[in-house]
Amino acid sequence: MLYVLYYAQDQRNYPATVNPPVNRLCAALGYIFRQPELLEEALTHRSISPRNNERLEFLGDALLNLIVAEYLFQQYPQANEGEMSRLRASLVKGETLAELARSLNLGDWLRMGQSELKSGSFRRESVLSDTLEAIFAAVYLDSSFATCRDLILRLYRDWLTGLTSASELKDPKTRLQEYLQARQQPLPIYNVLEIRGEPHTQSFVVECVAAAARTTALGSSRRKAEQEAARQALEQIR
């Protein structure tokens, strides 16, 4: 059966040999695949098929880094290499990709094994970010580099317009350490106070002791909890 997706951008009807739910994903992406099998592969997790999205994710990661680097190079002519690297890292990191993937409801279309579905893997940051990168590669292979670049920059529009200064992109632990070192004070100490939940859904409670500050924070990983505790400590001692 052939389904038709109404593509409002240029007021035309586009035929697609994919099912209606995936048509809705195409609408969210603003792109219709000429080769729907590429999109299917991009949405396929290794838990369900040997023909999965890992190779596409490898290519998509490289494309994303190049496209973002090119954008920053052109838009920030006064930024040095280190500043551009921090800006790029903030845009291509798994957390940002996963947030963008969730805005597309990407987890709803993932093809995964039953055990992975039951464990909630379709909501995991790494799975969502890898799948989105695989989709970027699928768009590139289905069309052209220019089309892929336009799609990525369009999806990233809010992040690109909301970019902060590169100096503010240092993570809280780094900023806290530099702040203390500049004042010849002892380095912060981090202690794991508690680990909650099952192994695949753990959360961590971490304490940060820095100068006169003592803060605690909860995070889905030890690193995230430490970063949040450091951020709170920096606010207290400034």
**Contact indicator for 45, 109 with CB cutoff of 8 Å:** no
Residue 12 has a pLDDT of 31
Type of residue numbered 217 = A
pTM for the structure as a whole: 0.66
Residue 203 has a pLDDT of 93
**Contact indicator for 147, 157 with CB cutoff of 8 Å:** no
- Residue 80, token pair as written in the block: 């040095």
Provide the annotated active-site residues: 61, 133
Residue 103 and residue 181: Cα distance in Å, rounded?
A: 40
Using 50 as the pLDDT threshold, list the residues of the chain that sit under it. 1-20
Residue 164 has a pLDDT of 66
- Look-up: residue for tokens 């695989």? 134
For the domain 3-169, what is the CATH superfamily, name and number? Answer: Ribonuclease III domain (1.10.1520.10)
Residue 237 has a pLDDT of 92
What are the residue boundaries of the structural domains of the chain, listed by start?
3-169, 172-237
**Contact indicator for 45, 111 with CB cutoff of 8 Å:** yes
Residue 2 has a pLDDT of 28
The model's pLDDT over 183-220, given as tens digits with 9 standing for 90+, comes to: 999 999 999 999 998 877 789 999 999 988 999 999 98
DSSP designation for 44: B
Residue 234 has a pLDDT of 93
Type of residue numbered 108 = D
The model's pLDDT over 83-109, given as tens digits with 9 standing for 90+, comes to: 899 899 989 999 999 999 999 988 888
CATH class of 172-237: alpha beta
